[in-house]
Amino acid sequence: MPELFAQLFRQDFCDLEAATGSWQKLAEILGDTRIGSGKRVSGPLHKASWSGVAAHYGFNALEATESKLKTAQTNAQLIHTVLDTLSTRMQAVTAAIGTTAARAWKTRAASSPDSHLGAEEQADGTPRICTRICRA
């Protein structure tokens, strides 16, 4: 079990945070594209009183496309939210492990000055593992 804590503690969250940001950007681009379609395509066609059979089918196609863009935007935003929550929670657990490890290190060192937890020490006497958290 300690190996799993050490693995989580050494976890680099930079890639997860980059993926989270990318999904957010995609959601924004999809939203901008959907809104732009209405402003630059379907809006002007409505204002120009485009009518007839071709107009009917054209407006239906534009509406379907805008609906698909909205669905894609919502899905990208949901993925962003899940990844952001995952990152936040995993980093909180990592910080808690670091705090607990540092506290255990200090307690053990205070009770038995010649004891060690099997980790390399830094200049301040804390184990090197207690400072490894990525904050990009």
Question: Which segment of 10-14, 15-19, 56-60 scores lowest on mean pLDDT?
Answer: 10-14
User: Helix, strand or coil for residue 127?
Assistant: strand
The separation between the first and the last C-alpha atoms of the chain, rounded to the nearest angstrom, is: 28
- Please state the domain extents for the chain: 2-131
What is the mean predicted confidence (pLDDT) over 119-131?
Answer: 53
Mean pLDDT along residues 41-45: 89
Predicted TM-score of the model (pTM): 0.68
φ and ψ at residue 112, rounded to 5 degrees? -150, 95
In the block, tokens 């993926």 appear at 19
What are 110's two structure tokens?
Answer: 């205070």
pLDDT band (50, 70, 90) for residue 6: confident
For residue 130, pLDDT beyond 60: no
Average pLDDT over all residues of the chain: 81
Q: Is the pLDDT reported for residue 24 higher than 60?
A: yes
DSSP characters for 55-105?
A: HHHHHHHHHHHHHHHHHHHHHHHHHHHHHHHHHHHHHHHHHHHHHHHHHHH
Q: Collapsing DSSP states into helix, strand and coil, what is residue 5?
A: helix
Indicate the residue type of 113. Answer: P
Residue 84 CB contacts under 8 Å (≥ 6 apart), including other chains = 20
Q: What tens digit of pLDDT does each residue of 58-117 get?
A: 999 999 999 999 999 999 999 999 999 999 998 888 888 888 877 877 776 665 555 444
**Residue 136 above 70 pLDDT?**
no
